[in-house]
């Protein structure tokens, strides 16, 4: 069957990023996180919570005193991924100069990306079931762990009563959420959307599963050297955690309230490899389709793109497939960075953190370095920024995310006027 106008689209309006909130292993809060990302030093270290497992190190959010920040009662109810989401949302709203009590709640949407939710407290509950004492299972176990609570708890906290949902597209979830949020704005369904992603991947079951799949780096003698995107000696990714939330508005609405955008989300593209349940298409075909779709949506040509914030997980297959995708789209790919070298892989939170980083890159006209790139893989012909931040004039950049199931999601961002 031949579809009419298949593969064609018209440029649509960008939306403004008017607020950012970040919770990352490189720092908590936008300023601290940006400083940590620009330092380009890995945050991976031994993780006592993973003791006894084949891989017992991770990138961890530092010094997070949830009871002090959220109060004892609320912090007790929330799992770690929801805590991150709520803190990032509060910062994003404040950064946007908004007061929740003053907004029209039904016109405020929330879209969050979460890969799996959380198994943070489930081991104790399974132990109680095994001991045949089901009456001792916590009534909070389910509502604190299901994925939708990342969005629901933000709504409860801020009084946002519009569309409220969580997107789960594996490691592309945070990017997918931002793309869907843009659709809610352009369709007129919402006037403002808080969008992002959140996850804590440094949990025993998560670590055991990924280790069994041979996806994690085994560099236990030097965890800080383990996550090395595009490096010749990469051997897998490092578990991470964190969240990012972006406040998105139509550009006219942002202008009307004199908000100064950090950047604009100009385009979004998504695709599925339909190739393998965990491995990417080796040629990067699905990823390339998503990149082209994002550029088409934004009205950009490949030569208009000045920077790529790569998915760059540090896996042998994944990094090579991404290289191949970039060479399908670009005659000569622009400068690339991969922040997972610094903060590890936050799964559902990764794409949102990287989109926020891309927005800040455009604001500051500065590309953060890729940590641990000592000897670039000779099979990877990319200009990877390493060692130190690189000042670069930039008008447009893409932020790419790829996940299990062949999920691909790409955002095209442009500098704010």
Contact in structure between 352 and 197 (CB atoms under 8 Å):
yes
Element (H, E) at 249: strand 241-250
Place of tokens 């299972």: 137
Is 209 a residue of the active site? no
- The distance between the two most distant Cα atoms of the chain, rounded to a whole number of Å, is 63
Backbone angles phi, psi at 243, to 5 degrees: -155, 155
For residue 141, count CB atoms less than 10 angstroms from its CB and return exposed for 0-12, middle for 13-18, buried for 19 or more.
Answer: middle
- Structural contact between residues 243 and 196, judged by C-beta atoms closer than 8 angstroms: yes
Determine contact, residues 414/298, Cβ cutoff 8 Å. Answer: yes
Going by C-beta distance under 8 Å and a sequence separation of 6 or more, which residues neighbour residue 93?
19, 21, 100, 158, 194, 247
Q: Which SS3 state, helix, strand or coil, does residue 172 take?
A: coil
Question: What is the rounded distance in angstroms from the CA atom of residue 222 to the CA atom of residue 218?
Answer: 9
For the question of residue 190 being annotated catalytic, the response is no
Long-range contacts made by residues 390-393, C-beta under 8 angstroms, separation at least 24? 390/335, 390/366, 391/365, 391/366, 391/367, 392/306, 392/307, 392/335, 392/365, 392/366, 392/367, 393/306, 393/365
Beta strand extents in 27-149 (DSSP E only): 27-28, 44-46, 57-59, 108-113
Catalytic residue among 38, 171, 190, 357: 171
**Of 190, 281, 307, 311, catalytic:** 311
Structure tokens at 307: 């920077």
Write down the catalytic residue from 38, 281, 345, 357.
345
88 and 247 Cβ atoms separated by less than 8 Å: no
Cβ count within 10 A of residue 213: 11
CA dist list (Å): 238 to 169, 227, 308: 19, 6, 21
Any catalytic annotation for residue 311?
yes
Provide the annotated active-site residues.
171, 311, 345
């Amino acid at each position: 069957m031949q579809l009419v106008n298949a593969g064609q689209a018209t440029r649509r309006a960008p939306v403004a990023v008017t607020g950012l909130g970040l919770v990352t292993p490189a720092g908590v809060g936008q300023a601290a996180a940006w400083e940590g990302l620009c330092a380009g030093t890995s945050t991976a270290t031994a993780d006592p919570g993973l003791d006894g497992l084949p891989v017992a190190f991770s990138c961890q959010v530092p010094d997070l005193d949830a009871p002090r920040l959220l109060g004892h009662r609320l912090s007790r109810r929330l799992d770690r991924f929801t805590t991150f989401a709520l803190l990032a949302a509060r910062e994003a709203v404040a950064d946007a100069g908004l007061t929740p009590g003053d907004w029209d709640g039904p016109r405020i949407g929330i879209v969050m990306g979460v890969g799996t939710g959380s198994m943070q407290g489930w081991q104790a509950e399974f132990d109680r079931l095994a001991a045949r004492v089901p009456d001792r299972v916590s009534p909070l176990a389910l509502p604190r762990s299901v994925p939708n609570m990342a969005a629901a708890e933000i709504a409860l906290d801020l009084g946002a009563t519009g569309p409220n949902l969580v997107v789960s597209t594996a490691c592309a979830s945070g990017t997918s959420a931002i793309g869907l949020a843009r659709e809610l704005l352009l369709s007129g369904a919402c006037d403002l959307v808080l969008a992002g992603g959140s996850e804590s991947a440094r949990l025993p079951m998560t670590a055991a599963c990924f280790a069994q799949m041979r996806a994690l780096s085994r560099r236990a003698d030097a965890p800080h050297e383990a996550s090395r995107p595009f490096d010749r000696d990469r051997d897998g990714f490092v578990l991470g955690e964190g969240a990012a939330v972006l406040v998105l508005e139509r550009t006219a609405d942002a202008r009307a309230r004199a908000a100064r955008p950090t950047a604009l989300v100009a385009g979004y593209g998504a695709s599925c490899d339909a190739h393998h349940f965990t491995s990417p298409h080796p040629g990067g075909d699905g990823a390339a389709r998503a990149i082209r779709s994002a550029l088409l949506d934004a009205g950009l040509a490949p030569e208009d793109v000045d920077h790529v914030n790569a998915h760059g997980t540090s896996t042998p297959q994944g990094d090579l497939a991404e290289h191949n995708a970039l060479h399908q789209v670009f005659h000569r790919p622009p400068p690339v960075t991969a922040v997972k070298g610094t903060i590890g892989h936050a799964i559902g939170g990764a794409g949102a953190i990287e989109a926020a980083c891309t927005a800040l890159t455009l604001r500051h006209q500065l590309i953060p370095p890729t940590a641990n790139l000592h000897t670039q893989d000779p099979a990877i012909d990319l200009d990877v920024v390493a060692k130190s931040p690189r000042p670069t004039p930039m008008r447009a950049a893409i932020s790419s995310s790829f996940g299990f199931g062949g999920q691909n999601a790409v955002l095209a961002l442009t500098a704010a006027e």
